[in-house]
Amino acid sequence: MKKDIHPQFREVIFKDVSCDFEYKTLSTIPAKETGTWKDGKEYPLVKMDISSASHPFYTGKQRIADSEGRAEKFKKKFGARHAMKPQS
């Protein structure tokens, strides 16, 4: 392997700032900040906006999507008056 071309693979703390959830894993992502983990050691810290602890899919707080399609909504709203007329 060539030297100095591969990113450094190290332990990194990822912190979800919306719910104060943290986890430590191995990563090559660059980090400008450092944070202290539960073991008392300092690791590179990467802040993120959303994680499995705050994502609606994983928390069960997702909104229910409307099952009615676009065409049905249009027909319901405007009725037959805007339907395409066959050309002769």
pLDDT one-digit tens code per residue, 31-88: 999 999 999 999 999 999 888 788 777 677 766 556 667 778 778 888 766 556 566 5
Residue 81 belongs to a domain: no
Domain count, the chain: 1
Residue 70 belongs to a domain: no
Residue corresponding to tokens 């705050």: 54
Q: State the pLDDT at residue 62.
A: 63
Query: How far is the C-alpha of 45 from the C-alpha of 26, rounded, in Å?
Result: 12
Domain around 25: 1-55
Residue 49 belongs to a domain: yes
Question: Residues 34-39: contacts with CB within 8 Å, 24+ apart?
Answer: 37/13
Residue 74 belongs to a domain: no
* 21 closest CA partner among 41, 57, 50: 50
Does the reported pTM lie above 0.85? no
Q: State the pLDDT at residue 36.
A: 94
Q: State the pLDDT at residue 53.
A: 83
Residue 7 belongs to a domain: yes
Provide the token pair at 19. 């719910």
